[in-house]
Chains A and B, each alone.
Chain A
Amino acid sequence: MSTTAEAPQQSHDPELERFHGRLPWVIGPENCATLSDKIAGITENPQPAWWWPTFLGSFLLMAGGVFAAVYLISTGVGVWGSNNPVGWAFDITNFVFWIGIGHAGTLISAILFLFRQKWRTSINRFSEAMTIFAVICAGVYPGIHVGRFWYAWFMFPVPNANHIWQNFRSALLWDLFAVSTYFSVSLMFWYTGLVPDMATLRDRAKGKLRQTIFGLLCFGWRGSTRHWRHYEIAYLMLAGLSTPLVLSVHSVVSFDFATSVIPGWHTTIFPPYFVAGAIFGGFAMVLQCMIPVRAVYGLEHVVTTRHLDVMAKFILATGTLVGYAYAMEFFIAWYSGVPYETQIFMDRTGFDPNGGRYWWAYWIMVSCNLFVPQVLWFKFCRTNPWALWIVSVLVGLGMWFERYVIIVQSLHRDFLPGSWGLFVPSWVDWLQMFGDFGLFFTLTLLFIRFLPMIAIAEVKGVLPNAHPHHHGHEHEHEHGSKHEGDHAKPAEAHANNGHASGNGHTNGHSNGNGNGEVPIYGPNPGSGKTHAIIAQFAGPAELMHAARTLRDAGYKTLDAYTPYPVHGMVKSIGMTRSRLPLFTLTGAFTGLATAVVLQFGITAGYYPIIVGGKQYRAWEAFVPICFELTVLLASLFTVLSLVWLCGLPKLYDPKDYHPTFDRASQDGFFLTVEANDPKFDKTETAATLKKLGGYNIGIVEE
């Protein structure tokens, strides 16, 4: 089938259609079955030989980090090299570094989803997982860097006997809300994406334990279109809610610095500069991990050189933005005429005759972040995995040094020469930092080992032939009769997709044909209460055609089970758009109201205290937390309402008695009619389904 026939379903603009459909994002002879085998197989088969030594190494590094943290907590923060004036050093450097790493995942999963960048499907799962692990790594530092980590709950507005409340005007508290919202929303987004894939793993599992674990984790997902209907909207809502987080989280982190008066920190360019740097470093980290992983697991046809190329372009663009910010800092230092500002920036370059000791860090940062990525103007460097990997590693190094320069270099020389000082990391600093890398790689390796690192269901949705051809399902009512004329096309898709469900196919014909009697499945076949009738179809086009025919014939309880959400299927089974967004909106308003009541109630009413000479009710500083809580609760409501609207968990469903029904999470397309449907009739419905191309037709009993 030519690629031009693969029209996107979202658009009717021929120009756009050509743009989207020009090249496939997954190359090679992939179909739903081989894709499931390939990706789920990674978690099912023994790991390659390198896995254990790598895991052991990472684990040892992590153990070193745990030791360093225990030593810090039991001894005191003096074991770090942080001092006066460099009160923040490795701890906050690493915190900001890791928070930044996470941004690529959110950008890929949220913003690129909204922009319908289909290439994201191959890398979004992996980079979202990296987001979560990176935020965990970052979260270590705020937890331990004040020493008495058992008082960490003081950071949260928990009612307590001391009536201690947080200062809602502090950038550090905004940061807490931003990072915890970021983590929670990313986790929910990631997990929502994982649910259909864990259903795939459940259905492929051989052992009872694996079946039970993944069965529980996926809440009994079966790929029902009545569930996809809510799922797709929930996913869209979560993407929409995560999108502002990409921009806000690092902006808020940058406020930790920008709202202070330290020369080198006190600058308005920080928020965009930090966001660009975060995406820059994050993409580098994704590439750094993805390039080796795709090579050793043979995923080159899913994560293609085109993916590398696009990500390299992101690195080039954001790296150049960051370079612009570096230049602008110097310009402002000169243009403002502030001697402290000028001093700190001259000190960075090393050209200051009385300069400090950190000029080398500055030049590592500029070289790695601005100069090195310029090689990505050449296509060879963007598409050659080795070249790109080396660039990514250097970018990661540069981004670490960027935070080091901003924090340590700015602090070591402030206004008063009398209080100048130097920072020298102690062995505990180093151990903690490498321990954090150990934690990150340990989690990543475990993730690769146990969970599908590529979003199987989503990639299935971008395969060629993933969606039936139709003339705009939005207008289907106007030309419903046209489906008869379309019959040739489903047959064509059948031919293409048939091999995907080959095993089910042969099975079905031996079952269903015989003497025209419909086989019955159930705990005690033939004696139970009839639950539903199930028919398998060769592909999405046949399934959709059958669903529409039955829907038009008056069936009310149709449901289609598909490995990925098929466009137009919701309407084809007679359902409308999900009302889930109303729950999201409710959550958003709940969050906003909570934030307003919390902040005004405490700061202006319950415990009024003057901060920064502001009026009690001055609202400007309350905006960040209002935003964060709005997003947090909207996401929470979205996920909970998804579970509720789908009626999950649904671990038990009599449909599972059907012998090939488990293919629905891999490569099978099924249509079901419930027994309580007014039009349901064992023989007649079965005959209709058969006539429409159904096979493996069976009746399940409860």
Chain B
Amino acid sequence: MPVIFSRNADSLIRHGAAGVAISAVLVVAGFYYYMLPSYTRVGYAPDQPVPFSHQIHAGQLGMDCRYCHQSVEESPHASVPASQVCMNCHNPEKANVKGKSPLLALVQESYKNGNPVEWKRIHQLPHYAYFNHALHVKSGVSCVSCHGQINEMKVVYHAKELSMGWCLNCHNHSHEVLREPTDVYNLALQMTPKEQLEKGNQIKDRFKLNPPQNCQGCHR
């Protein structure tokens, strides 16, 4: 019989197969690391037209979240404030806080001509998913649970995955995040895990919370 393959054909195939297997493992591992929202979304921090710092406003100055995000307790949407809200303080003709700063030029322009500042959206909810801010904050879910430590962010970034699995995980373990509704906007609040569990269970019982885990809870 003619010898068809060369002497090293077998080791070539074995090494090739091992190479393919290792590559396959790497591809799968890479996929799960790089392609999921935990990588693709988390850390997204676009440059905004106006370099508004949550660290200064919500952190140093201790402004309440609701001062700007006015409808968060009444509506599904927290709402982005109109320029007029900024101008309450930054209007050179009134309170004139840093009124001359060139960084505020866009806001002042927007205030004058009535066109909103074109903020870049960071947290994007798919239109096939229903989410209600009011329900969550009134039940004791703090801003930081979904948006991260906003009070420490100079530039706001996407802090959590906000994937469906992430939502469901919280709906399944809500006692791990729930706090007193009065503490919802207390972004700097610290609790030990033990305190958190006690408090969470207490809140859950008090409000008889049963976060939906079925499809139509969010996909209505």
A residues contacting B by CB (< 8 A) are 159-164, 202-203, 208, 211-212, 215, 220, 607-609, 649-652, 656-662
Q: Residues of B contacting A163 with CB < 8 Å?
A: 164-165, 168-169
B124 at the interface (CB under 8 A from A): no
> Beta-carbon contacts of B1-16 to A below 8 Å, as 1s and 0s?
1111111111001100
Contact (Cβ within 8 A) B10 A650: yes
B145 within 8 A of A: no
Q: Kindly provide the distance from the CB of B13 to the nearest chain A CB, expressed in whole angstroms.
A: 5
Across the interface, name the chain B residue whose C-beta is closest to A162.
Answer: B164
Give Cα A656 to B32, complex, Å: 47
B-side contacts of A607, CB under 8 Å = 168, 172, 213
- Cα distance A379–B141 when bound, in Å? 80
What distance in Å separates the Cβ of A332 from its nearest Cβ neighbour in chain B? 36
B214 in contact (CB, < 8 A): yes
Task: Give the residues in chain A near B7, CB-CB below 8 Å.
Answer: 652
Q: How far is the CB of A157 from chain B (nearest CB, A)?
A: 14
Question: Which residue, of B1, B6, B38, B166, has the highest number of chain A Cβ atoms within 10 A?
Answer: B1
Closest to B37 in A: A161
Compute how far the CA of A160 lies from the CA of B164 in the bound complex, rounded to whole angstroms: 10
**Nearest A residue (CB) for B36:** A161
Given contacts A211-B2, A211-B4, A651-B4, contact A161 B10 (CB under 8 A): no
Chain B contacts with A in 59-116, Cβ cutoff 8 A: none
A661 CA to B3 CA, complexed, in Å: 11
Q: Say whether B3 contacts A652, CB under 8 Å.
A: yes
Is B1's CB under 8 angstroms from A203's CB?
A: yes
CB-defined A-B contacts under 8 Å, sample of 16:
A160-B165, A161-B161, A161-B163, A163-B165, A163-B169, A164-B165, A203-B1, A208-B4, A211-B2, A215-B4, A220-B5, A607-B172, A650-B10, A651-B4, A652-B6, A656-B4
CB of A212 within 8 A of CB of B169, answer no
Chain A: CB-nearest residue to B13: A649
Give the chain B neighbours of A211 by CB distance below 8 A: 2, 4
Those of B169-220 within 8 Å (CB) of chain A: 169, 172, 213-214
| Interface range for B | 20 to 34
Residues of B participating in the A interface, judged by any CB pair closer than 8 Å: 1-10, 13-14, 32, 36-38, 161, 163-166, 168-169, 172, 213-214
Known: A161-B164, A609-B213, A651-B10. 9 other contacts (CB 8 A): A164-B164, A164-B165, A211-B2, A607-B172, A649-B14, A652-B3, A652-B6, A652-B9, A652-B10
B152 to chain A, nearest CB (A): 26
With A161-B36, A607-B168, A651-B9 already in contact, the answer to whether A656 and B3 are too (CB < 8 A) is: yes
Residues of A within 8 A of B1 (CB): 203, 656, 658-662
Q: How far is the CB of A559 from chain B (nearest CB, A)?
A: 16
A532 CB, nearest partner CB in chain B, Å: 14
Q: Are B4 and A212 in contact (CB under 8 A)?
A: yes
Give the complex CA separation of A284 and B62 in angstroms: 81
C-alpha gap A660/B2 in the complex (Å): 10
Give A569 to B2 CA distance when docked, in angstroms: 27
Specify which of A159, A162, A608, A649 is in contact with B32 (CB 8 Å cutoff).
A159
Interface centre among A159, A649, A650 (most CB of B within 10 A): A649
Q: Given A159-B32, A162-B163, A609-B213, does the pair A651, B5 have CB atoms closer than 8 Å?
A: yes
- State how many angstroms separate the Cβ of B212 from the closest Cβ of chain A: 11
Q: How far is the CB of A696 from chain B (nearest CB, A)?
A: 12
Set of chain B residues within 8 Å of A661, measured between Cβ atoms: 1
In the complex, A608 Cα to B165 Cα: how many Å?
Answer: 13
Bound Cα distance from A658 to B1, whole angstroms: 6
- Beyond A163-B169, A609-B214, whether A649 also contacts B36 by CB under 8 A is no
Chain A residues within an 8 Å CB radius of B32: 159
CB of A600 to closest CB in B, whole Å: 17
Query: CA separation between A652 and B4, bound complex, in Å?
Result: 8
Contacts of B166 in A (CB 8 A): 161
Q: Across the interface, which residues of B come within 8 angstroms of A608, CB to CB?
A: 172
Provide the bound-state CA to CA distance between A203 and B172, in Å. Answer: 63
Q: How far is the CB of B176 from chain A (nearest CB, A)?
A: 16
Chain A nearest CB from B38 CB (Å) reads 8
Closest-CB distance, A408 to chain B (whole angstroms): 29
CB distance from A314 to the nearest CB of B (A): 41
Contacts of A659 in B (CB 8 A): 1
Give the most central of A159, A215, A652, A661: most B CB within 10 Å: A652
B2 and A220 contacting across the interface, CB-CB below 8 Å:
no
5 tightest A-B CB contacts, nearest first? A662-B1, A163-B165, A651-B5, A162-B164, A161-B163
